[in-house]
């Protein structure tokens, strides 16, 4: 039997397969748009399953190679991903987390029950100091989620003082006694999480009053003031955005600089039976893409309200939880939300990132859920083993878009895919001028069967080169036994007769630099 490399196999397939009539992709290089904030590539880490314990933190005495308790392999992989921002400690967990349980000598910290996720004991070995040190190791900004649900304004204000004060206060000195002399920079701070649900089952009007109450007392030094985030709506809900903008005053003593929004992609759209992560029917490839592309409607409807009530664009729209959510792995604790990650997840990631780029004027942060071992993770671990997921590879391919200047993209003659009465575009595209001065183009082909021919219209182009992620199977994925089953391969094409044409394989993601 003769074997060929993945890149060679793709080249052979593209040379022989028939394609649709070409789609023209026009990049308006002379009409730059908003800057794509690097924090659109933010990550989320919650005290949930093996997301932190084992996934990131193993302790200094572990046989798993570590640096001061942090897994060396995971830290290395995340550094290579250039993670710009970390959100912690939740999520639903945030509204039952009391920060003083997670400071001081680790062997003397409280053991608490994680009532939200699996009913397991959290010994609080990973707390404020460990999180902040981890963020510094990665060179990432921090997003702290405060406890509104079971906490008090005093507790929340004290946590901020503990982290940010450079004074001679008791709390600042307690931080010093616990090993941190200098205050930390807190970049973002949220008052509660999912206050419509696990954070308190509130009405938006009630939450708006609580936000004003709590935020009034959240004081930090003038040179260390976090961006303040209010807990917003989810899915198609817009009344949280409207209520917050109407009822929270634009005054220094309160400050609301962003509103959060959550949306998870379920293949079935049914919270009782989400759909499988692997071995799913072909119909669920389409339904997953259709479900995830609903995000654009939710973004547009919320931004329309923001443009009406905040015409000066002072308040950001942060999609601080998003990603796929499948049925729990058989035999695993259902509260741990561990799922395998396939080529389908890679397409979901690319489609959403392209959307976030498109609306970068308002969307300055998003946080995929979650970073390690939970939902649409970048990394999966099994004790000492580690594997990078297809989603990790997409995020790495998209690094040039961090802090790049977005460029409008128009698709002409692009095909649509249909299933029943629903349709989705076969091609998703995004372009930007990166900090290195080059123009980058991201493409995704949602069609699981057919190659798409792309003709580029972006001035005089000589070539396109970058990486391509694709596979034969819709649920292709990496395993601990075969960690490189699905990895990006090099892609390069030269212009011919003044025309630059890309053949985009079925079910693929591509990022190329244009010259």
pLDDT digits (tens, 9 = 90+) for 456-505: 988 789 999 999 999 999 999 999 999 999 999 999 999 988 789 999 99
Whether the predicted pLDDT of 1 surpasses 70: no
pLDDT in tens, 289-307: 999 999 999 999 999 999 9
Give the burial string for 228-264 (b: 16+ CB within 10 Å, else e). bbbbbbbeebbebbbbbbeebeeeeebbbbbbbbbbb
Q: 479: burial class by Cβ within 10 Å (0-12, 13-18, 19+)?
A: middle
Q: What is the pLDDT of residue 459?
A: 79
Q: What is the DSSP letter of 336?
A: G
Whether the predicted pLDDT of 81 surpasses 60: yes
Q: What is the pLDDT of residue 329?
A: 85
Supply φ then ψ for residue 484, to 5 degrees: -115, 30
Q: What is the pLDDT of residue 490?
A: 98
pLDDT confidence bin for 7, thresholds 50/70/90: very low
Whether the predicted pLDDT of 430 surpasses 60: yes
Q: What is the pTM of this model?
A: 0.94
**Annotation marks residue 321 as catalytic:** yes
- CA-wise closest residue to 407 among 364, 357, 454: 357
pLDDT confidence bin for 17, thresholds 50/70/90: very low
How many beta carbons lie within 10 A of that of residue 149, not counting itself?
A: 19
Which element (helix H / strand E) includes 352? helix 343-358
Q: What is the distance between the alpha carbons of residues 115 and 152, in angstroms, rounded to a whole number?
A: 19
pLDDT in tens, 85-119: 999 999 999 999 999 999 999 999 999 999 999 99
- CA-wise closest residue to 299 among 245, 350, 238, 347: 238
Sign for the pseudo-dihedral over CA of 59, 63, 67, 72: negative
Q: Which of 96, 194, 205, 308 is catalytic?
A: 194
Q: Which of 321, 329, 384, 410 is catalytic?
A: 321
Whether the predicted pLDDT of 6 surpasses 50: no
Whether the predicted pLDDT of 260 surpasses 50: yes
pLDDT in tens, 145-174: 999 999 999 999 999 999 999 999 999 999
Q: What is the pLDDT of residue 421?
A: 95
pLDDT confidence bin for 15, thresholds 50/70/90: very low
Mean pLDDT of all residues in 341-354:
98
Intra-chain end-to-end CA distance of the chain, in Å: 40
Q: What is the pLDDT of residue 497?
A: 80
Structure tokens at 192: 């509660």
C-beta of residue 318 within 8 angstroms of C-beta of residue 259: yes
Q: What is the distance between the alpha carbons of residues 111 and 60, in angstroms, rounded to a whole number?
A: 19
How many beta carbons lie within 10 A of that of residue 165, not counting itself?
A: 19
Question: What percentage of the chain carries pLDDT values higher than 70?
Answer: 96
- 360: CB partners within 8 A, 6+ apart: 33, 34, 35, 36, 37, 40, 406
Q: What is the pLDDT of residue 19?
A: 52
Mean pLDDT of all residues in 314-319:
98
C-beta of residue 157 within 8 angstroms of C-beta of residue 217: yes
């Amino acid at each position: 039997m003769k074997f060929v490399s993945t890149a060679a196999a793709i080249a052979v397939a593209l040379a022989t397969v028939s394609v649709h009539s070409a789609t023209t992709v026009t990049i308006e290089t002379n009409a730059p748009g908003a800057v794509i904030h690097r924090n659109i590539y933010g990550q989320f880490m919650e005290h949930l399953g093996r997301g932190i314990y084992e996934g990131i933190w193993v302790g200094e005495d572990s046989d798993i190679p570590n640096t001061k308790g942090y897994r060396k392999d995971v830290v290395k992989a995340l550094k290579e991903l250039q993670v710009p921002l970390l959100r912690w400690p939740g999520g639903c967990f945030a509204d039952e987390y009391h920060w003083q349980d997670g400071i001081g000598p680790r062997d003397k910290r409280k053991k608490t029950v994680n009532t939200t996720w699996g009913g397991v004991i959290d010994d609080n070995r990973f707390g404020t100091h460990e999180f902040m040190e981890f963020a510094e190791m990665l060179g990432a900004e921090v997003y702290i989620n405060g406890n509104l649900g079971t906490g008090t304004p005093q507790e929340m204000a004290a946590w901020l003082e503990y982290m940010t004060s450079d004074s001679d206060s008791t709390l600042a000195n307690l931080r010093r006694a616990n090993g941190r002399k200098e205050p930390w920079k807190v970049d973002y701070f949220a008052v509660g999480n999912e206050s419509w649900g696990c954070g308190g089952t509130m009405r938006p009007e009630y939450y708006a009053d609580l936000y004003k109450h709590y935020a009034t007392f959240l004081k930090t030094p003038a040179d260390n003031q976090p961006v303040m985030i209010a807990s917003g709506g989810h899915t198609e809900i817009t009344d949280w955005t409207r209520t917050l903008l109407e009822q929270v005053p634009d005054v220094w003593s309160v400050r609301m600089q962003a509103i959060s929004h959550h949306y998870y992609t379920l293949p079935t759209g049914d919270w009782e039976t989400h759909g499988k992560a692997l071995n799913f029917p072909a119909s669920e490839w389409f339904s997953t893409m259709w479900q995830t592309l609903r995000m654009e409607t939710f973004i547009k409807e919320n931004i329309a309200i923001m443009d009406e009530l905040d015409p000066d664009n002072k308040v950001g729209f942060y999609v601080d939880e998003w990603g796929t959510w499948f049925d729990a792995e058989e035999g695993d604790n259902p509260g741990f939300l561990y799922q395998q990650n396939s080529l389908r997840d890679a397409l979901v990631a690319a489609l959403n990132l392209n959307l976030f780029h498109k609306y970068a004027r308002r969307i300055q942060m998003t946080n995929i859920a979650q970073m390690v071992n939970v939902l649409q993770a970048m990394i999966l671990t099994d004790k000492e083993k580690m594997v990078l997921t297809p989603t990790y590879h997409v995020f790495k391919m998209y690094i040039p878009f961090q802090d790049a200047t977005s460029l409008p993209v128009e698709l002409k003659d692009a095909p649509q895919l249909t299933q029943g009465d629903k349709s989705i575009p076969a091609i998703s595209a995004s372009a930007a001028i990166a900090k290195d001065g080059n123009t980058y183009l991201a493409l995704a082909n949602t069609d699981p069967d057919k190659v798409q021919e792309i003709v580029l219209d972006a001035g005089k182009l000589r070539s396109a080169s970058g990486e391509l992620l694709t596979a034969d199977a819709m649920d292709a994925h990496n395993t601990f036994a075969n960690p490189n089953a699905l990895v990006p391969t090099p892609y390069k094409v030269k212009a011919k007769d003044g025309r630059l044409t890309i053949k985009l394989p079925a079910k693929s993601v591509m990022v190329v630099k244009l010259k």
